[in-house]
Structure 1
Amino acid sequence: MSENLVALFQNIGLTEQKAKETAKNKNLAPTLERVINTAGFQNKPSEKSTGALLYHLASTSTPAAAPHLDYIAEAIRDSKLTTSDQVAAAIKFVSNKTNIDEAAFNEECGVGVIVTKDDVKKAVDSYTETVKDKLIKDRYKYFGLFFAGAKNIPSLKWANGGDIKEAVDAKMLEVLGPKDERDVVVKKKKETKPEVKEEVKVDVLKVPDMFFEGELAKLHKPGENPQINPELMKEHLKATGGKYITRFPPEPNGFLHIGHAKAININFGLAAAHNGICNLRYDDTNPEAEEERYFESILEIVKWLGFTPSEVTYSSTHFQRLYDLAVELIKKDKAYVCHCTGEEIQKHRGGPERGPRTACVHRDRPIKESLELFEKMKSGGFEEGEAILRMKMDLESGNPQFWDLVAYRVLKTAHHRTGSEWVIYPTYDYTHCLVDSFENITHSLCTVEFTQSRPSYYWLCDALEVYKPVQWEYGRLNITNTVLSKRKIAELVKKGYVFDWDDPRLFTLPAIRRRGVPPQAINNFIHTLGVTKSDTVIEVTKLDAFIRDYLNETAPRLMGVFDPIKVVIENLPEGFEQMLTVPNKPRDPSMGERTIPFTREVWIDGSDFREVDDKHFFRLAPGKTVGLLNVPYPITCTKVVKNNAGKVVELVVRYENVDGFKPPKTYIQWVAESPKHGSPVRLDEVRLFERLFNHANPQDKREVPGGYLSDINPNSLKIEKGALIEVGLWDIMDRWIKSSESKTDFEAMRFQLIRIGYFCVDRESDLGDLKAGSGASVKDKVKKIVLNKTVGLQVSSTLKNKE
């Protein structure tokens, strides 16, 4: 990561953290660097709004628009494009064009178009006449459709969204008057036509027993959770039909890890167990930390684990509604605008000494004043850190989650979905329960660190008189010999201890996937743990056992050698070739068969030969006999050939193809030399992984006083080059090319290398043209093969002693 890039990105208003993250993004960084340089902000800062638009351009541009990015960047610099909508229109306009017609560009992108508040008012007045009957009938519950319709008025295409909202509010007040008892209940999204959503699809063998026993068996049924107003439950049940509705709500600011696999299984599994639905919801309220790659990875991982969300939703979809409810909270005197710094807030909460808690000077400011200041926050009248909106809760409570939590803060960073429309963003404490309410969640499941947040979750729902889901907590899942903290993993990546977030030595789910771990093994592992209120720390060896058990049943067997020694069978003729049919898995006909060549020259592994024999060594040595797996007769070593350096480079053996020869004690794997069959398959790299950390808990200061970075195992990665493998690999690759839809799930090519371990193909491999039916086998197209070790074999102590 270049320090110059970080500095350049800070010139357009990115924080240092965001700039560093962006500089490491191989896709985004070059594009952003290009548009900044084009706009002329190499050595000087831009206006924050301009910088936000340049970032929006770089992060949302398409390959079809790439030739004309400079043109758009200059238009942003010259203030021709001033909104994210205009930038989006520009990207669309220039796509696939050779030359740009300036007049057409200006017209299509609204360059120079000024829509005044008066223009907006007139357009909204006119539009109201077309929907007036519906407005009068549905009153304030019609706001969402009314506002959406107003935004789609052609003459308002380039109008300020805030101006449209203001005109809509004013018109509704004019036509309907103030809200009254008919408008008390806060209606749900799409409440007039309850959705019949797709039920949760779980591609696992069955719904596990854990959802019908223990803690999960005690959960309430939909409709049993009390509400501050009984009408809220009636509306909820009308919208849901009494279904169980859960959600998995990750923040898109990093990659999921093994602990999230438990959360995914519990949320999707509980819904499936009761024929309900589960949404994937992105809690995207912190644009500084969010990146498109995280959104994509999260959905991909959920599907990889075998779950299909009923709906993919975003907290940002509700920004306007969340803002409106914040205004309501202020009107109820349950929120106020505060100007305290973080240090001042900490002091009022009693400070490190845990002294008495006191209200700040802003807590009792007039409602009208807070409303005006909150509007000023929304309009960009405050810089970051100058004003926040806090909920007026209970400073005397013993629960810190009642100490006037922050609901909104100023953050002048472009959002991946809403662009630069908002300069204030809601916090997790404010957003989470309300979006659960909007989505009619019946069971809001989370880990135990949120137990203290449950009362404040309920407080906010009741304060605003919206439907209140039930929050229920379960214990976190932790694994030994690793770290799961995003900050710590980021440090490992930054300092080069691991390749990236999907390095197979990590326990992020992309890393586990890349290592070749089948998702079914992960799910089986989670199901055996059950669900309790206690955090669990599981030995990594237990997870390995589940992976090994699953692969033992499903992975085909191949032969391979990491340290090849050439073997010449002296009593077989030149050009000898015998095709052997061998099972893909011994004693399991359902796994099928493969055909491999047996020839005069074969390769064995260096570990299976000793020049000086030993009575405890049962493999090949001078004068000694050993069997070759699946070959009819054994071989006996008759001669050892060395190079000038004294290294063994070839063994001459005799094929004991006579009846009555005594079977050998040991059989070893081998690979034939047969170019016409593409044998051997030559591997570019085999990556052998061990534990990344030496101690079970590398974060324990007592065991690791030097910190987790001092506990890194220097031998956690060994790379073997020059390894050989049999032709059965070509069959596996050909089957994968025909069956894989994405052609990116290389790790699905899994197999056991006999006597070595379980392996998969790494995504850095280059298999050439991956189109099925292209007329040539993969062996004729492959350019690079890299394997990752998934897990070792569980070898008995007896076998270890023999070897």
Structure 2
Amino acid sequence: MKKIIQFKKNNFIKKIIYLDLKNNKYSQIHTRFPPEPNGYLHLGHAKALCLNFGIANDYQGYCNLRFDDTNPKKTKKKYINSIINDIQWLGFKWNGKIHYTSEYFKILYEYAIQLINKELAYVDLLDKNQIKEYRGTLTQKGKNSPYRNHTIEQNIKLFRQMQNGELNPGTACLRAKIDMESNYMIMRDPVLYRIIFSKNDSNHHKWYIYPTYDFSHCISDSIEGITHSLCTLEFTENKKIYDWILKNINIKNIPKQYEYSRLQLEYSILSKRKLQTLIDNKIVKGWDDPRMPTISGLKRRGYTPQSITNFCKKIGITKQENIIELSLLECCIRNELNYTAPRIMAILNPIKIIITNYPINYVEKLIVPNHPNRPELGTRTLLFYREIYIDQSDFSEEDNPNYKRLTLKQEVRLRYSYVIQAYKIKKDINNNIKIIYCKYDPKTLGKSPDNRKIKGVIHWIASNNICKAEFHIYNRLFTIPNPENNKNFLNYINKQSLIIKKGLIESNIINNHDQLTYQFEREGYFYMEKTKKNHFIFNQVTTLRENKKNKNKILKK
């Protein structure tokens, strides 16, 4: 007999499942993840994945993967492949084979016939606009279609004509016969089947009619033996159809639907339709653009499976609608990379320094750690030379007591190396600094100079130890915290969401083929996306520190 586990940090769904098992309502928990393959998975799907697969794992149950391919015009093989890859990358394993709603089309068709024979469904010949008009409004009750009282024989004949492709799309649909005066709009004779002249990607049989989500989903759950059908709050009203259909057909298993709040992430949108709009308007370069909150976009940016699942665990499962701060997601990857990512030096905005009192043609080798707190990650060799590069932001012509970098009057320490002092600069015709001339103190390698206080430490790379690199700096995609609820969300695109810089990086990286993620000292965490000969492209994963201080991670609506 399996032990029933009651977890200390339960969400309300786990509490329900615990009681169901304790009261012997079910002997085995069975959940499902039913994505529609009309786009890539995003963080909202990751939350659903963690919930459904997590419950199956916690209670020694099963979780099915089922593609809701009931709209052939939007279903594409590339989306199916992407979803499969994302689920596997996140570390989840589904039960048995992959399911498709289309594999149940013949069974669904028979259940539709069953409803017609029970006089609980009819073929409506009203067009789309007329159906909308007859349905009424929130304050005005609907009225019956003139085709609602067709005989069973008439409905069977018309439905088979629909199935055989004898009626054109938009000229007929199958509707449930419930109550056109219901207070719930969704129960005013919802559409169960519509005509679509298109071949389903995952179904090799030719169909001219396709079931709606409301009709197919509950029956598919029942066929697969799903015990707990978990969905977000926008499907709360759909539960009425879910239960009505299962009650009125001859089917054995009756799953129960439970709803939880969908993920809303600060400065992001998680609507596939709106994400597609960003792509169509060329605001981003595709579903896997690193600025997108898709799993593939986050992966390309450098997020790890563990950071995403940890984020989903931290936000939890509730019925309360909240906006989650972006900083919580960033914190999850930052905490992981702070421990795992080796350090290396990169210069995003290089400026040359010549150390005039350093011996010409002399190269010094400095052995430095790859991680300050993890000696097991080893060491690397830095080359020190009279010509080095530092970041432009680490030098100022003006002396300022609050500026802890290099000036013409203030010394600075080079990381792992010597103390230097600038004494002259050279500018180009545009008055931009081209070269900084410095002197170094040979007695300061690895120790502080006598009787001198050094205010700052900066990173650097020697000119004989560099590779050219391209750095992609990512900022928030939107300028307002909640673009999801703004009809004109395209008006709030952050034009600085991607900044590309061309700089330099330690040449040590050439020999480290397996390592892709690094902490660039004093710059942030970066992920190596593509490499060419002597050229590298790095995507910024996140900054070194959270930009906001002492803020709650969840913003209440």
**TM-score, with length taken from structure 2:** 0.90
Q: Call closer, same or farther: CA 1:341–1:667 in 2, change over 3 Å.
A: same
Give the alignment of 1:434-473 within 5 angstroms: 434-466=219-251, 467-473=253-259
User: Is the contact made by 1:444 and 1:471 (CA closer than 8 Å) also made in structure 2?
Assistant: yes
Among 710, 716, 719, the alignment partner of 2:491 is 710
1:661 counterpart letter in structure 2? P
Among 411, 415, 419, the alignment partner of 2:200 is 415
Q: Deviations over 1:495-552 (max 9, x none)?
A: 2222222222232222222222222122112112221112221122232222322222
Measure how far apart 1:215 and its partner are: 4.1
CA distance in structure 1 between the partners assigned to 2:183 and 2:90 by the alignment: 41
CA distance in structure 2 between the partners assigned to 1:766 and 1:617 by the alignment: 36
CA distance in structure 1 between the partners assigned to 2:312 and 2:134 by the alignment: 43
**Where does residue 214 of structure 2 map in the other structure?**
429
User: Is the contact made by 1:476 and 1:534 (CA closer than 8 Å) also made in structure 2?
Assistant: no
2:352 counterpart letter in structure 1? K
Q: Deviations over 1:583-639 (max 9, x none)?
A: 2221222333222322232211111112232222222122532111112x3222243
**Where does residue 290 of structure 1 map in the other structure?**
75
Q: Call closer, same or farther: CA 1:224–1:418 in 2, change over 3 Å.
A: farther
Secondary structure of 1:290 counterpart: coil
Secondary structure of 1:571 counterpart: coil
Give the alignment of 1:45-64 within 5 angstroms: none
Among 452, 455, 460, the alignment partner of 1:670 is 460
CA distance in structure 1 between the partners assigned to 2:99 and 2:21 by the alignment: 21
Measure how far apart 1:223 and its partner are: 10
**Where does residue 277 of structure 1 map in the other structure?**
62
User: Is the contact made by 2:398 and 2:407 (CA closer than 8 Å) also made in structure 1?
Assistant: yes
**Where does residue 404 of structure 2 map in the other structure?**
618
**Where does residue 104 of structure 1 map in the other structure?**
none
Instruction: Check if 1:573 corresponds to 2:371.
Output: no
CA distance in structure 1 between the partners assigned to 2:21 and 2:152 by the alignment: 37
- Long gaps (5+) in structure 1: 1-206, 227-236, 737-748, 768-781, 799-803
Among 745, 749, 760, the alignment partner of 2:527 is 760
CA distance in structure 1 between the partners assigned to 2:432 and 2:142 by the alignment: 78
**Where does residue 360 of structure 1 map in the other structure?**
145
Q: Call closer, same or farther: CA 1:283–1:797 in 2, change over 3 Å.
A: closer
- Long gaps (5+) in structure 2: 550-557
Secondary structure of 1:370 counterpart: helix
1:710 counterpart letter in structure 2? N
Q: Call closer, same or farther: CA 1:288–1:208 in 2, change over 3 Å.
A: farther
CA distance in structure 2 between the partners assigned to 1:429 and 1:536 by the alignment: 27
CA distance in structure 1 between the partners assigned to 2:461 and 2:546 by the alignment: 22
Q: Call closer, same or farther: CA 1:424–1:795 in 2, change over 3 Å.
A: closer
Q: Call closer, same or farther: CA 1:586–1:459 in 2, change over 3 Å.
A: same
**Where does residue 519 of structure 1 map in the other structure?**
305
Q: Deviations over 1:365-424 (max 9, x none)?
A: 221221122111111110101111112223343333322221111100111122461111
Q: Between 363-372 and 422-431, report the one with greater CA deviation.
A: 363-372
**Where does residue 20 of structure 2 map in the other structure?**
221
User: Is the contact made by 1:480 and 1:696 (CA closer than 8 Å) also made in structure 2?
Assistant: yes
1:331 counterpart letter in structure 2? N
Instruction: Check if 1:697 corresponds to 2:467.
Output: no
RMSD between aligned residues = 2.5
Secondary structure of 1:545 counterpart: helix
User: Is the contact made by 1:245 and 1:440 (CA closer than 8 Å) also made in structure 2?
Assistant: yes
Name the one with the larger helix percent: 1
User: Is the contact made by 1:210 and 1:527 (CA closer than 8 Å) also made in structure 2?
Assistant: no
Among 412, 416, 438, the alignment partner of 1:653 is 438
Q: Call closer, same or farther: CA 1:209–1:477 in 2, change over 3 Å.
A: farther
Instruction: Check if 1:493 corresponds to 2:283.
Output: no
Q: Deviations over 1:649-677 (max 9, x none)?
A: 22332231127733623111011222xxx
**Where does residue 504 of structure 2 map in the other structure?**
724
CA distance in structure 2 between the partners assigned to 1:208 and 1:480 by the alignment: 33
Secondary structure of 1:661 counterpart: coil
CA distance in structure 2 between the partners assigned to 1:432 and 1:379 by the alignment: 23
Name the one with the larger strand percent: 2
Q: Call closer, same or farther: CA 1:400–1:359 in 2, change over 3 Å.
A: same
Q: Call closer, same or farther: CA 1:210–1:373 in 2, change over 3 Å.
A: farther
CA distance in structure 2 between the partners assigned to 1:305 and 1:602 by the alignment: 42
Measure how far apart 1:700 and its partner are: 5.2
CA distance in structure 1 between the partners assigned to 2:545 and 2:420 by the alignment: 28
Q: How many correspondences in the alignment?
A: 537
CA distance in structure 2 between the partners assigned to 1:274 and 1:479 by the alignment: 29
Q: Call closer, same or farther: CA 1:573–1:597 in 2, change over 3 Å.
A: same
Q: Deviations over 1:299-339 (max 9, x none)?
A: 12212222122242111111122112222222222222111
Q: Call closer, same or farther: CA 1:481–1:616 in 2, change over 3 Å.
A: same
User: Is the contact made by 1:210 and 1:530 (CA closer than 8 Å) also made in structure 2?
Assistant: no
Instruction: Check if 1:751 corresponds to 2:532.
Output: no
Q: Call closer, same or farther: CA 1:208–1:575 in 2, change over 3 Å.
A: farther
CA distance in structure 1 between the partners assigned to 2:528 and 2:6 by the alignment: 31
Which structure is higher in RCO with an 8 Å CA cutoff and minimum separation 6? 2
Q: Call closer, same or farther: CA 1:731–1:244 in 2, change over 3 Å.
A: farther
Bigger Rg over Cα: 1
**Where does residue 244 of structure 1 map in the other structure?**
29
User: Is the contact made by 2:11 and 2:318 (CA closer than 8 Å) also made in structure 1?
Assistant: no
Measure how far apart 1:285 and its partner are: 0.7
**TM-score, with length taken from structure 1:** 0.63
Measure how far apart 1:729 and its partner are: 2.6
Q: Between 378-387 and 517-526, report the one with greater CA deviation.
A: 517-526
